[in-house]
Chain A
């Protein structure tokens, strides 16, 4: 048996990030050590996982995530990801990950041009990896979305490769889990709401798990991602050793 671990999570903060404190609060409620790291930092310290939260880094100028991608902190995040460390990018964090080339594709203006802030049903395509390992394929969860530029776009070959390699993790769906145009809030190709990199340790998703981490705010399905990460970290020998 390992001692009850307290995951150490680095939460990146860029000028214009707005979801870092929701992530920090959700983790702190679980007893985790949450550390906010300003974008000029060059090291992640001894973090077990990294979160790139939502917001509007650098005002979304040029393209969402385009400037944040060159922050000193992102060099550390890229190295961490290359070594297999778990990285979650939510909303603007997803946009930054695509700009950084850690994930394929791009997030473009919603097809209806509106900012969309709402609860959204999602179908879990694969219950695996650091952030979705405690969920089941086909499970339908409900998380908030809050974005104006969430339309996932990639060329057909990239989309086919993502599908065939099992890297499409979340799709916009209705409450029954059906992926339909009506359930798609932004025009994302093939209803894609979340994908992982080839190794599976980097997850980008437009919805906000940190905003559904307490029943008092209307839902707690987001906690499933936190619990997945805790279980995943506990199963990693290296991580467990570091905490002894």
Chain B
């Protein structure tokens, strides 16, 4: 059956994030003076086939471990659900 994983890749705590710092500065300059921190990351939606939830979860874990995140500076987490609707390209 078809599954959809929303994979969140974020920088580990302590890894400097100049992009997030720059965005935080932009927000403060717009008047959002209480913004103390922004951490940038990535969201990837992966549609794929697997027999059951356990197999799908194992597959996403392997995808993250091998390619989607670099454990040197990133961590990955994901939400997994059965996907009934056909996924459109470039959505």
A62 engages B18 (CB within 8 Å): no
Tell whether A134 is near chain B: CB-to-CB under 8 Å.
no
Counting chain A residues whose Cβ lies within 8 A of the other chain, the interface size class is: 20 to 34
Identify which of A63, A110, A151, A155 contacts B70 (C-beta below 8 A).
A63
Quick one: closest A residue to B40, CB to CB? A109
Q: Which of A55-79 contact B (CB under 8 A)?
A: 62-63, 66, 70
Counting chain B residues whose Cβ lies within 8 A of the other chain, the interface size class is: 10 to 19
Quick one: closest B residue to A65, CB to CB? B70
Identify which of B15, B70, B73 contacts A66 (C-beta below 8 A).
B70
Tell whether A113 is near chain B: CB-to-CB under 8 Å.
yes
B22 partner residues in chain A, CB cutoff 8 A: 113
A187 engages B16 (CB within 8 Å): yes
Q: Which of A67-115 contact B (CB under 8 A)?
A: 70, 98-99, 104-106, 108-113
Tell whether A137 is near chain B: CB-to-CB under 8 Å.
no
30 chain-A/chain-B pairs, Cβ below 8 angstroms? A62-B67, A62-B68, A63-B70, A66-B67, A66-B70, A70-B67, A98-B72, A99-B70, A104-B72, A105-B72, A106-B72, A106-B73, A108-B15, A108-B16, A108-B73, A109-B18, A109-B19, A111-B16, A111-B18, A112-B18, A113-B18, A113-B19, A113-B22, A153-B15, A153-B16, A153-B72, A153-B73, A155-B72, A187-B16, A187-B18
